[in-house]
Amino acid sequence: MPSNSSFIDKSETSFHRIRSVLTEVVRVLESTKVQEIELAEQVKTILSENFSSGDGDEDEAKTPPPLPPRPQLPPPLPPRLPLPPPVPPKTKTLSPGPSPTFKTVKDFGVTGRGEGRGEGKILSPGPSPISQSIKTMEDFRIVKVLGKGSFSKVVMGKEKTTGEILAMKILRKDKFAHALAENKILQKTSHPFLVSLKYSFQTPDWLCLVTEYVRGGDLEFHLSRVGVFPEYLTRFYGAEIILGIQCLHSIGVVHRDMKLENLMLDEKGHIKIIDFGHCKEGMYFRHTTRTFCGVPEYMAPEMLGEKYGREVDWWQVGVAMYVMMSGKFPFYSPEGGAVLFDLIVRKK
């Protein structure tokens, strides 16, 4: 690497050379007789004489490095091929089908306005999905007794082939007409808030109705644990009870025994109306009967010795909802009997 003194000497030499070149150029420019071409030639000669040959210094003789080659542009893209013409959609000739069958309201399980005023359109129940297979008592194993009545008892049964738990209501044959009426009503109904019939069969002494087993217990049991139900829960249960009763009324059936013990809850907390033992068929609008039945605390005034229609079910639903919210009956007497009936009839 050259020292500082040699670098200074070279710089001075270059300076003196440049100064002499500029002086010569100025002299040429001052000559008025020099043409442009001659001027260019003279300047070129001066520059070549002063800078073409060096003094042996390697640094001064260096020529500037050549410029890098210009990068080549990428080849042009091939022209875009034209899109194929759109394919027309395939058309299919539809063959004419069968002539449409026009339905009526009855074809969709809806009743009309009824025989009198106040009757709206309500869903009519379809037939109960009762199994067509023939069952006997040997097909079930009795697990335990659930309840007893005056002429029947209800047991929990387990079907041996499927293991399904069911409720079995066993009725005495000497009450055969009463038992057949309940069986007939259960076979005619299929509603989410009515207990459904699975099988029915008879022995020499008994008629057996096998229904779904409702696991949630009855409302009387639940009310005894909490005292009263809140209003929102009473409205919820009341709405489902009303829908179930509307279903029965649409096929001319009056229940007549709407007490809390006959209002069960399924495993999801919805109402299931059970026990159709006091039901009566043929009770359409303005049809009446005189049969005395049911629990006194729930009886409508017209049931105490007068003719009555299916409106008595609504009275009993009202009593049930009153008990849910207050924990007591609207009409009650510890003496019962005639005193209680007098309170109901006089509406005191």
User: 303 and 198 in one domain?
Assistant: no
Q: In the block, which residue shows the tokens 């009795």?
A: 142
Enclosing H/E stretch for 335: none
Residue at which a domain ends, from 186, 212, 238: 212
Q: In the block, which residue shows the tokens 């709206």?
A: 120
Q: Which residues are catalytic?
A: 257
User: 223 and 168 in one domain?
Assistant: no
User: 239 and 196 in one domain?
Assistant: no
Closest CA to 209 of 251, 260, 175: 175
In a domain, 189, yes or no: yes
Residue list, annotated binding site for ATP: 169
Estimate the share of the chain in helix, then strand, then coil, as percent rounded to the nearest 5.
40, 15, 45
Residue at which a domain ends, from 212, 245, 279: 212
User: 253 and 190 in one domain?
Assistant: no
Summarize pLDDT for 12-56 with one digit per residue, the tens: 777 777 777 777 766 766 665 555 566 667 667 766 665 555 554
Residue at which a domain ends, from 212, 233, 266: 212
What total number of domains does the chain contain?
2
In a domain, 104, yes or no: no
Neighbouring CB atoms inside 10 A of 139's CB total 16
Q: How many Cα neighbours within 13 Å face the side chain of 334?
A: 0
| Distance in angstroms (rounded) separating the CA atoms of residues 269 and 259 | 18
In a domain, 78, yes or no: no
Strand partners, 156: 144, 167
Residue list, annotated binding site: 169
User: 225 and 198 in one domain?
Assistant: no
User: 291 and 231 in one domain?
Assistant: yes
User: 184 and 156 in one domain?
Assistant: yes
Give pLDDT tens digits along the chain (348 positions): 555 666 666 667 777 777 777 777 667 666 655 555 666 676 677 666 655 555 544 444 456 667 667 667 777 777 776 766 766 666 555 444 444 343 333 333 333 333 333 333 344 455 555 555 678 889 999 999 998 877 788 999 999 999 999 999 998 877 767 778 888 899 998 999 999 999 999 888 888 999 999 999 999 999 999 999 999 999 999 999 999 999 999 999 999 999 999 999 999 999 999 999 889 998 998 899 988 888 888 988 888 878 999 999 999 999 999 999 999 998 876 766 656 666 666 665
Look up the CATH number of the domain holding residue 291. Answer: 1.10.510.10
pTM value is: 0.60
